[in-house]
Amino acid sequence: MDITNYVVLAAVLFAIGATTVLLRRNAIVVFMGVELMLNATNLAFVTFARMHGDLTGQVLAFFVMVVAAAEVVVGLAIIVTIFRTRRSASVDDVNLLRG
Amino acid sequence: MTEFVAPEIDWLALAPLIVVLGAGVVGVLIEAFVPEKVRRTTQIVLALAALAGAFAFIAVLWPQIVVQPVQVVGGSLTLTPFALGAQGIIAVLAFLGVLVVADRTTTGQDAFAPAASAVPGTPYEDLARRSGLEQTEIYPLLLFAVGGMMLFASTDDLIVMFIALEVLSLPLYVLCATARRRRLLSQEAAAKYFLLGAFASALFIFGVALIYGFAGTVRLLEIAQRVQQGLPLEGMSVLLVSGVLLVVVGLLFKVGAVPFHAWTPDVYTGAPTPITGFMAACTKVAAVAALVEVLYRISIGVGGVSPDIMRQLQIVIVVVAILTMVVGTVVGMVQTDVKRLLAYSSIAHAGFLLVGIAGFNAPVQSSTLFYLLAYGLATIGAFAVVTLVRERRITSGTGEDNGPVGEGEGVVLGEATEIAQWAGLGRKAPWLTAAFALFLLSMAGIPLTAGFIAKFGAFTGATTGGLWWLAVLGVLASVVAVAFYVRVLVVMVFQKAPDEPESTGTEAVEAGLSTGSTSEDAVPTSGGAVSAGAAATLTKVRVTSAQRIVVTVVRSRGPAAVAIAVCAIATVILGVFPSPVLGLVEQASKFVP
């Protein structure tokens, strides 16, 4: 199978993730969109590493995973704090700051 | 099996970063092992010492780096004079920022929630406040953020840049959520900042992946070399172009440029004010420095081979610069909140910086550094002033026992951020007003302040790059911006404070006190804060008919006053005798190792 298919798949996953971030209203789902984008990036890294025949890309994928994990910790903490105050995780309800 | 070869590491070049990040780690240990009484003092001393130490190492390194830039740890850290200069500016601004953060003022309370995880309005929060808990974790978090910024500004490796981006962002997301008052706004700011920031860093890293796909490396200089060799440019250039665009978008988000600015006003308003000042100044320095490095190193490669791509890239930057200046100044005109106004001012400044950068010529790097220093000093100083202008609730009849009382009667509440409330401040606190006026004038770019020299440098950069019309636009935009700075000054100096403060609650709220506080210090009312209407009640200062709100200036316990004084003096000195500092940053235009 042509290896560029994986690049196309990565791009499609990335686009789905970005669309999720821009269109969905629940903070958790928005955050899942970001995670999908990061995983699409991992796929792209690994595919390009295979194309170029060097290991850098595979190592980079590990870095991205670690960062994604760290982001989950901080992000969920913030979202849960808001949820405990307001009983809602919708980004539409978070609208006190305007102007 | 190949032998393991230990990498050669230039520890001195890494020293500024090691000091700051190491102090962050020690700070976490202090949280665990130092008794509560002295914990806060220890943390502050450690943070200030670390930043001063980092600056000392930068000063030691400077003569050596100016002569010969070095690559450390196999190129992960590239210390050019430009990068080292950015690191030094970040260290200085962060030092001033920590001073403001550390100030408890005469009210004895700092700007941070006693227990940031407590749900606003619950008995637990009340208990935490009464027992005098303090969230001293903010100091290690600040140090980690500073370490990330210093690394962000000085790396040649896109993946290290990505890690640094996260190391600087994650602590800032948390810090945004820790405000003592107006906690809902603070948490909301953190959520917005986090979701948009995570989105931007996902764009950034996908851009890095695409660039890696094109060049097979993530080192900017090697990418430039691969492009110059021109090997895969035919057909594959779409990878490079979209990759660079995504990376630049990720960076522009951190810079706060239009159309990626949406988070800036909200986050600047919601975050605790000392953190806003720190974030506005230091993040901007780091992000602009990283943006300059990416753009220039890529342009070294692309410029020679494919002028078309280069021109497109320049057009993108020019369009973003124009949009940023226009939106920053025009929307800034109609703001009624001081913190929001300063946020739009910071957006406008991002535009002016981009005007300089869009010229794509080497001297701009030194003028950019000077601009960042001037802007950062004025910003930290201005936000420090905002932390001292407070609301005071006065109850006619008996005194309050709910919360400590400063000099005079009544209870000091949160910051009075409505511009209308600042009327007559010139009489109440002439020195503070003078300092704030100086910072605003510097931001406006009035001669004899640092801002003038800075803007002059940025616009000169655009003209020498052949974009004289962009420089003219920049001058026009900064003339418009003067209007909104002057508006604040007029209110502060020439308008009288309302002689008869409102006697009823409703009037006081109408007078512009509606962005409010949480239950902090407020009258306990029936109805749980967690109930459905909590969002509304938690964001208003509740005043009963027997109470009124006056605007007061609390006295600094020292650190913030020192920070304001240093910022003010430096702003004047940089405006009147800029040549020593200009001479220093001049050396920073040697850019590529």
**Residue B122, in any domain of the structure:** yes
What pLDDT was estimated at residue A83?
85
Q: Are A71 and B340 an interchain contact pair (Cβ–Cβ within 8 Å)? A: no
Among the partner residues B198, B208, B216, nearest to A71 by beta-carbon distance: B198
What pLDDT was estimated at residue B592?
53
Q: Decide which of 4.10.520.10, 2.40.50.100, 1.10.287.3510, 2.130.10.10 is the CATH code for A4-86.
A: 1.10.287.3510
Delimit the domains of chain A by residue range: 4-86
**Residue B401, in any domain of the structure:** no
Torsion over CA: B470, B466, B239, B154 (sign): negative
Asked if residue B138 lies in contact with residue B112, where contact means CB atoms within 8 angstroms, the answer is yes
Q: Indicate the number of domains in chain B.
A: 1
**Chain A residues 29-88 with a CB less than 8 Å from chain B:** 30-31, 33-34, 37-38, 40-41, 44-45, 47-48, 51-52, 54, 56-57, 60, 63-64, 67, 70-71, 74-75, 77-79, 81-82, 84-87
What pLDDT was estimated at residue B528?
34
Cβ neighbours, 10 Å, residue B2: 4
Q: Are B198 and A10 an interchain contact pair (Cβ–Cβ within 8 Å)? A: no
What pLDDT was estimated at residue B302?
78
| Residue recorded with tokens 């003067």 | B482
What pLDDT was estimated at residue A1?
66
**Residue B509, in any domain of the structure:** no
Q: Which of A36, A30, A42 is nearest to A78 (CA)?
A: A30
Q: Which of A74, A76, A90, A93 to probe by mutation at the B interface, max B CB count within 10 Å?
A: A74
Q: Are A86 and B535 an interchain contact pair (Cβ–Cβ within 8 Å)? A: yes
Mean pLDDT of A55-84: 91
Q: Are A99 and B335 an interchain contact pair (Cβ–Cβ within 8 Å)? A: yes
**Residue B505, in any domain of the structure:** no
A97: confidence class by pLDDT, cuts 50, 70, 90: low
Q: Are B199 and A18 an interchain contact pair (Cβ–Cβ within 8 Å)? A: yes
Three-state secondary-structure class, residue B411: strand
Cβ neighbours, 10 Å, residue B72: 20
- Which residues in chain A are closer than 8 Å to B188, comparing Cβ atoms? 82, 94-97
**Residue B211, in any domain of the structure:** yes
Give the separation between CA B383 and CA B417, rounded to whole angstroms.
11
Give the separation between CA B75 and CA A66, rounded to whole angstroms.
21
Full-model pTM: 0.88
Instruction: Find the closest chain A residue to B190 by CA distance.
Output: A78
List, for residues B560-571, the tens digit of each pLDDT value: 888 999 999 999
What pLDDT was estimated at residue B542?
58
Q: Is this prediction's ipTM beyond 0.90?
A: yes
A33: confidence class by pLDDT, cuts 50, 70, 90: very high
Task: Tell me the H-state helices in B334-428.
Answer: 338-358, 364-388, 425-428
Among the partner residues B210, B216, B269, nearest to A54 by beta-carbon distance: B216
Taking all residues of chain A, what is their mean pLDDT, rounded to a whole number?
87
What pLDDT was estimated at residue B216?
87
* Structural domain span for residue B26: 11-390+421-496+556-589
**Residue B408, in any domain of the structure:** no
Q: Which of A78, A79, A93 to probe by mutation at the B interface, max B CB count within 10 Å?
A: A78
- Mark the ranges of chain B whose per-residue pLDDT is less than 50: 398-407, 500-537, 593
Token pair in block for residue A85: 């105050």
Tell me if chain B has a CB within 8 Å of the CB of A17.
Answer: yes
Give the separation between CA B257 and CA B262, rounded to whole angstroms.
9
Q: Are A48 and B216 an interchain contact pair (Cβ–Cβ within 8 Å)? A: yes
